[in-house]
Structure 1
Amino acid sequence: MSVQIQSLTRHAPNASRKMLDDVSLSIEDGAFVALVGPSGAGKTTLLRTIAGLDGPYEGTVLVDGRTLAGRPMRERRIGFVFQNYALFRHMTVARNIAFGLDVLPRRERPDRGAIAGRVAELLELIQLPMLGDAYPDQLSGGQRQRVALARALATKPGLLLLDEPFGALDPIVRRQIRRWLRGLHDQLGLTTVLVTHDHDEALEVADRLVVMQNGRIVQEAPAEMLDTAPATPFVMEFLGEALEFSGRIVDGWFLPDDSNVLSFHVGGGVDDGLVTALLRPYETRLVAGEGRGRAIPLAGGSGGLRRLKVELGTREVEILLVTDQVGLFGRDHVALDIGRARLFRDDRALQHISLRPPEPGHGKQRHNGTVTDSV
């Protein structure tokens, strides 16, 4: 099932602010999309509006080309998994799963044998075939999550909506469940929309991320593109730890304000003026003998990376360096190479920036306005 949203606006009950502000979004049939952003960004409000659970609103919401207005819930073919699972504690697992089928109008309701067969099929699908007679309080958090998903799938929806479904699970179970969920999505050919504030979670399971801030969509893109080409500093910082450096563009060069940070060439097509550079701690390089900075190894690190504190004179930053390179640098007289930074002006990305510094052998780098031999 596809979802098309055009100019969607929803006001808070007291009308003092907009919960959703002119949101437009297209989700193709079979996609797995994650709505991400901080608390209060509008993620759950958008999800509930897609489901037809909240209103009124301005704009258009179409599911498979049709509006949900006036359509009974049973005809919408939408499965919704709430953050707290919302399982019925007085019902067995099997009865919880069967609930959506049991409440169908008589003319649409399968007979008891068909419902029992569907429940057994779903118990196998969620890998809990022996727990049909158990009650929710007897299950682990991961098992309850699977039961909530099975209940949402019982009526064979084409669209599955998930509101922070992994929030109450421990990290190991979270990883197991989200991998299982992604496999289930592919197996059943669903269209899935996941709300989460955990960008790692979204990156692992979703094909496309929709980043929200203050009720608006600030960027939507395939997961692998968001980090390499963030549209705003907020997107860059939301997706992970980022270092920020102020400076200016002059004649195609980024000249940092900090004298212990190397300038780098950004190419043509960029107007001179003030800019902000952001990059990940592991994208930096230390250059010996090029500055008066001071590098101090710190405890911690993972994945073959070691954390260092670099004193730049006016400030300190922490970077990540390949472990076997840490010993190559003395404590003093280092500069920071930030040639892979993304540049922003007026909170928008500059689109004509090369994310790579000049190749070795090009002969020159520009350091605070002075051209020097590159290291």
Structure 2
Amino acid sequence: MEVSSRKISVLVPDDHGATDIISVEDNNVVVRPHRYPEDTYPAVWYHFRVKNLFRFRLKVTVKVKDLPKSPPGFKGLMYEPFWISSLWSSDRKNWTRIPNEKQILGEDWFQIEFSLRPSEEVWIAETYPVTYQNYISFIEDMSDLETSTFKREKIKLGVTLEKRPIYALRITNPSSHPKYTMLLISGQHAVEESGKIFTRTVTEWLSKNYNKDPAQRILDKYEIYIVPLVNPDGCYHGRMNTNAKGQNPLLDHHCIETRSILKLIDEISPHILINAHGWGNLMGKPPHEGWYHWKIDRLYEHMKKHMYGVNSVDWGLPDDRHILKEEFKIEYYAHKNHNTQTGILEINWNSYKPSPKKKEVKPTLQNIKERSLQYFKTATSMLIE
């Protein structure tokens, strides 16, 4: 959708946009996150472009309104409003945090002021956007490949209600036997961008470094299955935690997306399963990641022992907040039927302390990639120490 005034235009992309345009005047824009009624999380996602149509430099004010006052489940215990960590980009590729001095913060809104040269544009997003088209391009890049010591193959698990494909990537050393099996999935809640970055980072790292340690050692011992986007329809539409039918793939075992994963679990019987979530910039000074686990959990104890940041912050919430239960359909199914070590990871990347210094406000995509690899390497070490 694109709406224009005499001087500016606002574009919300069909793919991963999910932003309502409220008004566009000569130099003022008002938008809000689009609310899907089936989502049980408050709408926090926004992703749009502002462009100067005027023949002179233009000062523009953008207001994003109707934001939730507290993230779901945290009872108002926020470290900072998540929207203080919003990003902008001139090319939709290189994203940086919007500086504090450019923002005015309200209780459930923020406002940005900036200037644009003629024909100049700026993209604004809640956090680093990983769109459906990003996913398709990534899958195309990860074509089938086989050498004497490395094999990567694409497996089509199914199609969604709107006929978008769900793929898994199998990565292994075909000359090494026997093996443990690990399954990594992401994108159940398809605007939780850092989870998708986690699986993509691991895939690219293994594909690039398979012939040297530690990647080589891992592939000697593990067959890795990676599902980079469980919920393609939700990703395309920018839904918070539902698919095109309004079902939550995390909790609903009847939906197509979850059934595809359960079928794969039965076929491969994984020893370890990590379900990567996290929309990235909710709260906290990094590193902190939530890790959902069973009350008695070998994998969780291993991660706590070897990685700083795993459930490291006391939110003042009930002790069982991060305890897995039967309602988590994939984790429960794998744990019960295949004795799989399972965990749900909520990984951060765009989180800062309040009022950071300029040197602390940097693109942190590299940080989340480094953190993702730490998690992956640490999890694999549990069975091959």
Larger Rg: 1
Specify which structure has the higher proportion of strand: 1
Same fold (TM over 0.5): no
TM-score normalised over the length of structure 1: 0.26
